[in-house]
Structure 1
Amino acid sequence: MKRLIVKGRVQGVGFRYFTEILASEYGAKGYVKNLFNGDVEIIISNENEIEYKQFKNKIIAGNSMSEVDKLVEEEYYGEKYNKFTIKY
């Protein structure tokens, strides 16, 4: 599993919903949530490496209203998820 921190204009622009739709398209599990500092955190599990890379590239591209400045990627060893959700 991976933990992605997305930096830029990613809050208040539908980015979490955009991420949820992408996760559904790629069969990913985990969650997306806004962080207090203005970043967005994504925990994602997808066994297919090609699909994961496609998902990540679309996250970097963002939706029509967002602007991703930086993506930080790291391994995640926490709880496992059986679906993808938006956390509040």
Structure 2
Amino acid sequence: MNTYTLNVRGRVQGVNYRRFVVEMATALGYVGYVKNLTDGSVEVVINATYEEDLEFFISKLYDGSMFSDVHDVTCKKIDKLIFDDFEKR
């Protein structure tokens, strides 16, 4: 299992985007967290076993919540972190 940090840019704060990510990640069985960053973007950190799973998750991040407008999602593999569930920070 690998840990990835995803940075989501666009209109993603104040539009229930983090709640959307928590619901989606929980439904897909991912663990990690989502949080707002001071630059207006959202950070998502997840554990994923397969790259195909990660690609599907990223495609869902682009779908977003009803009022969000995702412009870009960047992904970077980081040192492994252990999580018990998926949470909003």
TM-score, reference length from structure 1: 0.90
Matches of 1:83 and 1:20 in 2, distance apart?
10
Q: CA RMSD in A?
A: 1.3
Structure 2: tracts of 5 or more residues without a match: none
Equivalent residue, structure 2, for 1:12? 14
Does residue 29 of structure 1 match 2:8? no
Q: Sequence identity of aligned pairs in percent?
A: 33
Matches of 1:70 and 1:24 in 2, distance apart?
22
Which residue of the other structure, out of 68, 72, 86, is the alignment partner of 1:84?
A: 86
**In 2, are the aligned partners of 1:43 and 1:76 still within 8 Å (CA)?**
no
Equivalent residue, structure 2, for 1:58? 60
TM-score, reference length from structure 2: 0.89
Deviations 1:23-62 (A, max 9, x none): 1111001000000110000001122443332221010121
Structure 1: tracts of 5 or more residues without a match: none
